[in-house]
């Protein structure tokens, strides 16, 4: 555990310069890889992801916390672009493991629901 990390109950929390990052189990977020709670200003990232994907997802979720764009498609594009520039390998691996039926269905439902 690095000096900027701590455990609260069973959660590993990393303090980024701006926002806390909480590492959670797969069961907390599946099928999503991460989540940005904009109200509480906390980023959540799954602990079962490959290291490169965790870095990409963390960068993606932290970007969401700073972004004030309203339209969700544009928000996702911006967060992915930002994180892919910083973690290109994580972006590639993330894209590859996102090609499961569960993830594709998840994207389809988001498009259908428009959020």
Query: Which residues bind to Zn ion, rule: CB under 5 A?
Result: 76, 79
Judged by DSSP in three states, 94 sits in helix
Burial pattern 2-30, b for ≥16 Cβ within 10 A else e, equals: eeeeeeeeeeeebeeeebbbbbbeeeebe
Residue nearer to Zn ion on the CB measure, 12 or 29? 29
Rounded to a whole number of angstroms, the minimum distance from the CB of residue 79 to Zn ion is 5
- The region, left, alpha or beta by phi > 0 then psi within -120 to 50, assigned to residue 9 is left
Residue nearer to Zn ion on the CB measure, 79 or 94? 79
Residue nearer to Zn ion on the CB measure, 48 or 76? 76
Rounded to a whole number of angstroms, the minimum distance from the CB of residue 48 to Zn ion is 18
Rounded to a whole number of angstroms, the minimum distance from the CB of residue 87 to Zn ion is 14
SS3 assignment for 17-30:
CCCEEEEECHHHHC
Rounded to a whole number of angstroms, the minimum distance from the CB of residue 60 to Zn ion is 5
Residue nearer to Zn ion on the CB measure, 20 or 63? 63
């Amino acid at each position: 555990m690095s000096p900027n990390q701590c455990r609260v109950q069973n959660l590993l929390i990393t303090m980024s310069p701006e926002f806390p990052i909480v590492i959670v189990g797969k069961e907390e977020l599946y099928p999503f890889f991460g989540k940005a709670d904009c109200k509480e200003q906390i980023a959540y990232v799954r602990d079962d992801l490959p290291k490169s994907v965790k870095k990409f997802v963390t960068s993606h979720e932290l970007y969401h916390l700073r972004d004030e764009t309203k339209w969700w498609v544009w928000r996702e594009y911006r967060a992915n672009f930002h994180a892919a520039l910083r973690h290109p390998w994580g972006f590639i691996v993330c894209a590859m493991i996102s090609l499961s039926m569960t993830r594709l269905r998840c994207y389809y439902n988001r498009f259908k629901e428009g959020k």
